[in-house]
Amino acid sequence: MLASAKVAFAQSMPELVQASIEALRQHPQPPYGRPAQASGRTAQLIREEHGDDFGAVYGPAHAQTLITGRGPTRGGGNAGGEPLRAILAQWAQDKGIQLTGGMTYQQFGFLAARKIHRAGTALHRLGQPSRLFSDILTPDRLNTLKARIAAGQMVAIATELRHALSQ
Report DSSP state, residue 28. P
Query: Tell me, what's the pLDDT at 80?
Result: 64
Looking at every residue in the chain, the average pLDDT score rounds to 87
Spatial contact of 105 and 93, defined as CB atoms under 8 Å apart:
yes
> Quick one: DSSP state of residue 57?
E
- Answering whether pTM is above 0.75, one says no
Please report, for residues 55, 141, 150, 153, the alpha-carbon distance to residue 1 in angstroms, rounded to integers and kept in the order given: 13, 21, 13, 11
- pLDDT at residue 56 greater than cutoff 60: yes
Dihedral (CA of 24, 82, 45, 62) sign: negative
Whether 42 contacts 36, CB under 8 Å = yes
Q: Is the pLDDT of residue 8 over 90?
A: no
Per-residue pLDDT reduced to its tens digit, 59-117: 988 888 888 999 998 765 556 678 889 989 998 998 889 999 999 999 999 999 999 99
For residue range 143-156, what is the model confidence (pLDDT) as tens digits? 988 898 888 888 88
Q: How far is CA 167 from the centre of its chain?
A: 51
CB atoms within 10 A of CB 26: 10
